Amino acid sequence: MPDTDFHPDKDSEELARKLASIGVEDIRRSGEPSYASDALPVFLEMHARELGIEAPMRDVAYVMQEFAWQWGLGREFGRMPCVRIASGEQSEIVPLSLPFDFPFPRGVRPWPWLRRLYPFPPGFLFEAYEDFLRSRGDSEGISIESVDYVLERLRNGLASFLAYRIAGFRDWAMGKEKGGQGNLGGKGGKRARGKGGGGQGGSGSGGPLPPASLSSGGGMGVEMWCTSPGLTIEFSHAYFIHFLNFGAPSFPVSNTLLGGRYVFQGKGPTYPSGTVRSQVFRIPPDYKAVTTYF
């Protein structure tokens, strides 16, 4: 029976673990006065090149810089929010982004900015936010964890994400050389029938194998299917829940993503703060991501 799934090879997993560990140590050091935290994205891409990783890392560097900035806030209190997401038959706990939409410069330490904006102690704001999160904890799987535990969860989740990024890019490059074929859907270029991380929904058996010509930078075509029409779909790297725009309106919504592990949510008039998060999808092989979470 042909292999209809995709799993990162051991070399990709080992490189991913190394780069994730280096990235997390850079975040730890970002709190030191002598550390140029605005250079964190440059450092991550530099470390990837030093390890011989050819896969694009700019989006990962952006998300990691956002996490580092928010971790600087959480470190002042010793704790940060996390959320439980569905992954396969189980679930995993990953850091949850704080809802800061203000245009704070992400390369500087946040406390001077907060003290200028708010006439009361920033700790009051954070404690109020914690109370809000606890009120949603049971229904949405949100918890408040120590900053050291949060960094460990980030390391594990980032390593899993990067393994798919590195292995997926290698197969993308192979597929490009073969005119859009290759191993993007499993061994021998077979179309994938992944389960999309388990839970409610999955990757359809007819999921399209995206031709390499869709993106010159390693992107792969992805369709997002849900049960609610007219939503704007957002995606997040699965190691740190920080949503970015994917497209609209649902459903389906098509766009290109680089290899990795992702979750989605929808926003619209009936869901102004966002729907519940989907299960984890792996790119490759979940090119047709189907969820019934929203």
The per-residue pLDDT string of the chain (294 residues; one tens digit each, 9 = 90 and over) reads: 233 478 999 999 999 999 999 999 988 887 665 455 556 677 889 999 999 999 999 999 999 988 988 888 788 778 888 999 998 778 899 999 876 544 444 444 555 555 566 555 656 666 766 676 666 656 678 888 999 999 999 999 999 999 999 999 998 888 766 665 444 544 433 333 334 444 555 544 344 444 434 466 788 899 999 999 999 999 999 999 999 999 999 889 999 999 999 999 999 998 888 888 999 999 999 999 999 999
Give the pLDDT confidence score for residue 254 in this predicted structure: 93
154 & 35 share domain: yes
- For residue 142, tell me if it sits in a domain: yes
Structurally, the chain folds into a number of domains equal to 2
Give the pLDDT confidence score for residue 50 in this predicted structure: 94
Give the pLDDT confidence score for residue 213 in this predicted structure: 40
Residue whose pair of structure tokens reads 């299960």 in the numeric block: 279
63 & 25 share domain: yes
Cis peptide bond upstream of 67, omega within 30: no
Element (H, E) at 267: strand 260-267
Residue whose pair of structure tokens reads 């994400």 in the numeric block: 161
Identify the CA nearest to 255 among candidates 226, 220, 289, 229.
220
Question: pTM of this prediction?
Answer: 0.82
213 & 142 share domain: no
Pairing state between β 253-257 and 220-225:
antiparallel
CB 185 within 8 A of CB 3: no
Identify the CA nearest to 287 among candidates 204, 166, 176.
204
Give the pLDDT confidence score for residue 204 in this predicted structure: 43
- For residue 168, tell me if it sits in a domain: no
Give the pLDDT confidence score for residue 210 in this predicted structure: 43
Element (H, E) at 289: strand 288-291
216 & 105 share domain: no
> Could you tell me where the DSSP H helices lie in the chain?
10-29, 40-50, 58-77, 111-117, 122-140, 147-177
- For residue 166, tell me if it sits in a domain: no
CB 283 within 8 A of CB 171: no
Beta bridge partners of 267: 232
192 & 128 share domain: no
- Give the separation between CA 54 and CA 47, rounded to whole angstroms: 11
Domain residues for the domain of 63 are: 10-161
- For residue 176, tell me if it sits in a domain: no
- Length reported for the chain: 294
146 & 196 share domain: no
201 & 254 share domain: yes
- For residue 254, tell me if it sits in a domain: yes
State phi, psi for 49 to the nearest 5 degrees. -65, -40
- For residue 171, tell me if it sits in a domain: no
Identify the CA nearest to 23 among candidates 269, 83, 172, 15.
15
The one-letter amino acid at 127: E
Give the pLDDT confidence score for residue 122 in this predicted structure: 58
- For residue 130, tell me if it sits in a domain: yes
Q: Up-side HSE of residue 115: CA atoms within 13 Å toward CB?
A: 5
* Structure tokens that stand for 102 in this block: 């203000």
Transcribe 8-32 into DSSP letters: --HHHHHHHHHHHHHHHHHHHHTTS
- Give the separation between CA 154 and CA 92, rounded to whole angstroms: 11
Residue whose pair of structure tokens reads 């940060």 in the numeric block: 80
Give the pLDDT confidence score for residue 137 in this predicted structure: 59
